[in-house]
Structure 1
């Protein structure tokens, strides 16, 4: 990081599959469209539209972002002396934080409309830093807004198991930002990428996923933006 606190706004056109790693910074994401998945240990958490998630310094995690998702990231350098939350988890996006992120996004989109743009961005980020000092996070649920039965079925879906309850098939797209079938296809391609990174060949990957190389290619083009090699 060049600055102690940095902001970025991202439109993730295709599937992003991050590796499992320890964070060298602390950071928050706030999802505006689509959804993201954070893996902490053996548990995976779904961050839907309107929700925020916090990752502290040195936290072992993996991030997956679904195609078409739009989100903000605010990163905090480990050099900061300001006390930051040391736990990972969901946090409530306050009206003030939402407004600050909107202003930062407008500022980056139209920097020439503001005087002393670097100073303006620095001031906005300083206010966010103040907000973060009182951040309260939770990992009691895998997705805010779902009851225990619904959360259990979402966990089943994330593990690659089928769900058939009509009520869930109707409700989950609101949280996933896509249909259940599209989500399942993204998880298939995520696993294919992970196997590829471990050194498996395409035909071996197709066999492990009980599909064909041709089927993986058909999924890869809209999800990854390229053929699966």
Structure 2
């Protein structure tokens, strides 16, 4: 059955990257653990644990979920009668919206109270005022390059390197050349890194 609003909690054990495309629904993304990277236009925004971001319908975006990341996702149909925010950005949830999300996270999907909670949440979402500002971490990630030294955590840099390898291969660069440039020509290092970050040995 199609509902105007839904909620689910998802855990990403490995690096997961969504295709860059326009959203078919409004999205409320809350990071519980780990880190998500949201690309909007030319910029990328790091959504850290405890942060919440709003992505409106028709917004062109790609989201990278780093390994060991847990997120709470609310999807809202573009056909809802309530007027949803049209601007993407970080938001501060009030106590009521936070309590509703926490309750939904522990409630079974078929519970009769879910629809009541969804109605409350919809009402709260109409008053959101998203703002976009790159944090220090976001700026560091945006400036990161595999050829330059960085103060970012080694685990994060490893995930960024794998993501860069994936991007290059998808753009048509041969895997051998990617291994040569990013993994010092070591097939073994490349394979082990992919298995650690992506849970598989090939893209």
Q: TM-score, normalised by structure 2?
A: 0.89
State the partner residue of 1:142: 134
**Residues 1:224 and 2:198 aligned together:** yes
State the partner residue of 1:92: 92
Higher share of residues assigned helix? 1
Secondary structure class of the residue paired with 2:83 = coil
Deviations 1:168-206 (A, max 9, x none): x6xxxxxxxxxx100010011112222333344321322
**Residues 1:206 and 2:184 aligned together:** no
| Change in CA separation of 1:152 and 1:187 when aligned onto 2, cut-off 3 Å | closer
Secondary structure class of the residue paired with 1:211 = coil
CA distance in 2, matches of 1:67, 1:210: 20
Deviations 1:140-189 (A, max 9, x none): x223xx5xxx76445433x554334xxxx6xxxxxxxxxx1000100111
1:13-92 matches, within 5 Å, as 13-92=13-92
**Residues 1:130 and 2:123 aligned together:** yes
Structure 1 unpaired stretches of 5+: 170-179
CA distance in 2, matches of 1:151, 1:23: 22
CA-CA distance at 1:101 after TM superposition: 1.3
CA-CA distance at 1:228 after TM superposition: 2.5
State the partner residue of 2:143: 156
CA-CA distance at 1:208 after TM superposition: 4.6
Contact preservation (8 Å) 1:51, 1:93: no
CA distance in 1, matches of 2:180, 2:96: 50
CA-CA distance at 1:82 after TM superposition: 1.2
Contact preservation (8 Å) 1:27, 1:75: yes
Q: TM-score, normalised by structure 1?
A: 0.80
CA-CA distance at 1:39 after TM superposition: 0.6
CA distance in 1, matches of 2:184, 2:18: 23
CA distance in 2, matches of 1:163, 1:197: 25
Of 206-215 and 123-132, more deviation after overlay is shown by 206-215
CA RMSD of aligned residues (A): 2.1
Structure 2 unpaired stretches of 5+: none
Deviations 1:13-39 (A, max 9, x none): 111111111111111111110010001
